[in-house]
Amino acid sequence: MISHISIKDFAIINQLSVDFHPGLNIITGETGAGKSIIIEAISLVLGSRADTTYISSGKDKALVQIVFEDVTNEICLYLNENGIDIQIDSQIIITREITTGGKSLCKINGQIISVSVLNKICKRLADIHGQYDHQSLLIPENHINFVDLYGLEQIGALKEKVFSSYKNYLFQKQKLSSIVKNESDSLRHRDFMEFERNEIFVAKLQIGEDEELLKEITLLQNGEKIFENLQMSYDSLYESTPSSLSEIKKVIDMLSNIEEFSPEIKQNKEILSDSYYRIQEVSSEIRKLKEGISFNQEDLDNSISRLDYIEILKRKYGGTIEKVIEYMESLDKKLEIINNFDALKLTVEKELKFAEEELISLCSLLSESRKKVSIKLEQEINNQLLELNFKDAKIFIEFSKKTPEGNGTDIVEFIISTNKGEAPKPLAKIASGGEISRIMLAFKNILGNLDSIPTMIFDEIDSGISGITASIVGRKLLQISSKHQIICITHLPQIAAYGDYNYKIDKVTDDNSTKTTVIPLDDQSKIMEIARLTGGLSITDSTINNARELIQFSK
């Protein structure tokens, strides 16, 4: 709940501090004293848009601070998730500062936070109900939210299933649309893809083939020179007279004749013998190389042509033979998909139909649950309206259908008959401002028990009502305040009389400035304020006695 509000340099409020309490807190005051300004200041702390026009004239900034006590576990968890360390039942101090330069600063317990986080936190702390909220009842699109909040326990899980099913339905629908689009695009390109795939396929590429061809071409281009040198090398080693091998053989034989006389001679003879056999092997290899050399120009032309073709494919499809082969494999996969589009489309169409049928089925279940919930809600609202002096009024909840969406197929609208025998009509066409205020109060009394918002702030709840109806509204506010802290601004004595704690807003004007203050009222001051609200400027013994009677009646 809100335990303290501090406002500085905000509109006509120079410096204001006020403590609030559990129960029903009533604020009254002269017209123009600044009651609505306090609501605007509270709205600013709760995350509304920062408006620099609210900064007091001649000041650089405005500051509003609210202290919340007895913070719930839910709020603590949310704050902890957003990096604000706080314990259950501790105190939260929210500060909002706006400057003439347009800057806005939000803090919770001294830690800077964004306005979006502030908004989400404060929705769990307090609910401001003003004239705009009255008007929300006149917008049929809002009515389904009242039903869903009332029936959250019964239909919450089903709503989540509908939303999940709707997401799956949209996914399948988009998937089918994408397939149809891809099919159209792909069919236009299929011939070209098949041409590219076949161009690579017929080439029968082998990894490393380009490198082998390059070596082969080099050999073919230099074949004559290579052959001549290999021939001369072979002749020198083996065919000439005398050949190198035959001369080495002679030396080996001569060393064999004398090797017994010296270990060194024997050692050198063995080295030379080993070399002889190695040279003999080299001669054989040279002969084979020589015999493998070709001077065929056709072979050279074919190898050059093959390498050129491979280079063209490499430039077109990836830069290396490996990349070209990978590209062909990717084309195979794409062509397989294209050639199986009918089967793929049929599969997705079946999935879409199943998703649609599942969505429609879940929406039907949700609609049935909403209608069951609505019967109970209708009864509760009408009971509340009877208590709020709507003797002959009846609220009905009307259902119609729309195409399935994430929230189901229901269009919900509250219609009302204010007199016996009258056909029900939309609220906007039949309800006056005062009636709408009381209808909204009935909703707040029912739905307020379903949420965990500790503080409810009412501004202009008494619009368009007076007399006994005002007393009934006051009693209803007192009833709600048993479960929520209520801060209510009113100009009616019948409502003010029900306050557990009463405050008066005063506006003081001198030659240089206008200032607004809030004064807590004791029992006697409360009587005099209610007498003022009853009699205006003329406070008599009669109006004072009337004020006492109103207070006594409220107990």
Residues 229 and 127 in one domain: no
Residue 402 pLDDT > 80, yes or no?
A: yes
Report which of 310, 319, 332, 302 is spatially closest to residue 206, judged by C-alpha positions: 310
The pLDDT score that the predictor gives to residue 157 is 93
| Residue 530 in domain | no
Q: Rounded distance, CA 144 to CA 151, Å?
A: 11
Residues 199 and 328 in one domain: yes
Report which of 115, 108, 125 is spatially closest to residue 50, judged by C-alpha positions: 115
Residues 236 and 129 in one domain: no
Q: What angle do CA 397, 384, 125 make, to 5 degrees?
A: 90
Residues 104 and 212 in one domain: no
The pLDDT score that the predictor gives to residue 480 is 86
pLDDT in tens, 215-271: 888 877 777 777 778 888 888 887 888 888 888 888 888 888 888 888 898 898 888
Residue 461 pLDDT > 80, yes or no?
A: no
Residues 106 and 222 in one domain: no
Alpha-carbon distances of 36 from 30, 62, 194, 488, rounded to whole Å: 11, 16, 75, 11
Domain boundary among 339, 357, 377: 339
The pLDDT score that the predictor gives to residue 295 is 65
Could you list the residue range(s) of the whole structural domain that residue 10 is in? 1-137+450-521
Q: Rounded distance, CA 469 to CA 413, Å?
A: 26
Ranges 320-329, 411-420, 424-433, 524-533: which has the least confidence: 424-433
Residues 214 and 274 in one domain: yes
Report which of 288, 191, 271 is spatially closest to residue 234, judged by C-alpha positions: 288
| Residue 233 in domain | yes
| Residue 87 in domain | yes
Between β-strands 92-99 and 104-108, what pairing exists: parallel, antiparallel or unpaired?
antiparallel
Residues 123 and 204 in one domain: no
pLDDT interval class at 347 (50, 70, 90): confident
The DSSP letter of residue 59 is -
Q: DSSP secondary structure string, 211-230?
A: HHHHHHHHHHHTHHHHHHHH
Percent of the chain with pLDDT over 90: 28
Residues 33 and 106 in one domain: yes
Chain centroid, CA 199 distance in Å: 48
Residues listed for the chain: 555
The one-letter amino acid code at 272 reads: L
Token pair of 376, please? Answer: 């109970």
Neighbours of 494 (CB within 10 A): 25
| Residue 310 in domain | yes
Q: Name the phi and psi angles at 376, rounded to 5.
A: -65, -40
Domain boundary among 288, 310, 339: 339
| Residue 384 in domain | no
The pLDDT score that the predictor gives to residue 371 is 95
Residues 213 and 309 in one domain: yes
Mean pLDDT for the chain overall: 85
Alpha-carbon distances of 366 from 50, 165, 170, 218, rounded to whole Å: 40, 12, 19, 80
Q: Name the phi and psi angles at 425, rounded to 5.
A: -135, 160
Residues 195 and 308 in one domain: yes
| Residue 129 in domain | yes
Domain boundary among 339, 370, 388: 339
Instruction: Find where tokens 């259902």 sit.
Output: 399
pLDDT in tens, 57-83: 888 999 999 999 887 777 788 788 877
Ranges 169-178, 293-302, 483-492: which has the least confidence: 293-302
Identify the sign of the CA torsion 189, 194, 197, 198: negative
Q: DSSP secondary structure string, 244-273?
A: HHHHHHHHHHHHHHHGGG-HHHHHHHHHHH
Token pair of 413, please? Answer: 């609208």
Residue 503 pLDDT > 90, yes or no?
A: yes
pLDDT interval class at 29 (50, 70, 90): confident
User: In this structure, are residues 10 and 45 in contact, taking their beta carbons and an 8 Å threshold?
Assistant: no
| Residue 365 in domain | no
319-343 mean pLDDT = 85
478-482 mean pLDDT = 87
**CATH at 121:** 3.40.50.300
Residues 133 and 262 in one domain: no
The pLDDT score that the predictor gives to residue 362 is 96
Ranges 5-14, 113-122, 129-138, 417-426: which has the least confidence: 129-138
User: In this structure, are residues 300 and 217 in contact, taking their beta carbons and an 8 Å threshold?
Assistant: yes
Q: Rounded distance, CA 369 to CA 372, Å?
A: 5
Neighbours of 247 (CB within 10 A): 11
Q: Is 453 exposed, middle or buried (0-12, 13-18, 19+ CB in 10 A)?
A: middle
Residue 171 pLDDT > 90, yes or no?
A: yes
| Residue 413 in domain | no
Q: How many domains does the chain have?
A: 2
Residues 129 and 200 in one domain: no
Q: DSSP secondary structure string, 481-531?
A: TTTSEEEEE---HHHHTT-SEEEEEEEEE-SS-EEEEEEEE-HHHHHHHHH
